[in-house]
Amino acid sequence: MLWVKSFHLICVVTWFAALFYLPRLFVYHAMSEDQASNERFKIMERKLYRGIMTPSAVLALFFGGWLLSYYSWESIAVMHWLHVKLILVALLFVYHGYCGRLLKQFKNDENTRSHVFYRWFNELPVLVLISVIILAVVKPF
């Protein structure tokens, strides 16, 4: 079980690194004014999303599910902190998908949002990360 937990944490850390970095790339992409920068950001965003962010999210989900399989349904039913954590993880997957949608808008040169929007958007996974860590470590309820 410790090996599975280790791989789960590695994948979660990698996923969060990408969740933090992709919106930061969106900030700079929204500020870019020349075609060379625009094309460079498109490549960086695509490679990050497809090559790191999505595979690490899928693997984090896989190893997290594997970890859940070690527990009985009865024990999971009374782990209310885990229910909240799983809801937050589901919201992260929504955020992940929305990042993919924004990526497509940049790819098609259809972005209409300013760099300020992306600066605020970049903070959302931080709040989820803090909450998930507190839930997983403290288990407040």
Grouping H, G, I as helix, E, B as strand and the rest as coil, residue 138 is helix
What is the tens place of the pLDDT at every residue in 67-98? 999 999 999 999 999 999 999 999 999 999 99
Q: How far apart are CA 31 and CA 41, in angstroms?
A: 11
> Mean pLDDT over residues 50-74, rounded?
97
Measured torsion, CA atoms of residues 67, 55, 41, 110, in degrees rounded to the nearest 10: -90
Q: Indicate the residue type of 91.
A: L
Query: Closest by alpha carbon to 26, among 99, 125, 124, 126?
Result: 99
Q: What is the pLDDT of residue 23?
A: 98
pLDDT score at 67: 96
Residue 111, pLDDT score: 97
- Which secondary structure element, helix H or strand E, spans residue 111, and what is its range? none
Section 28-35 average pLDDT: 97
- Mean pLDDT, the chain, rounded, equals 97
In the predicted model, what is the mean pLDDT of residues 113-118? 98
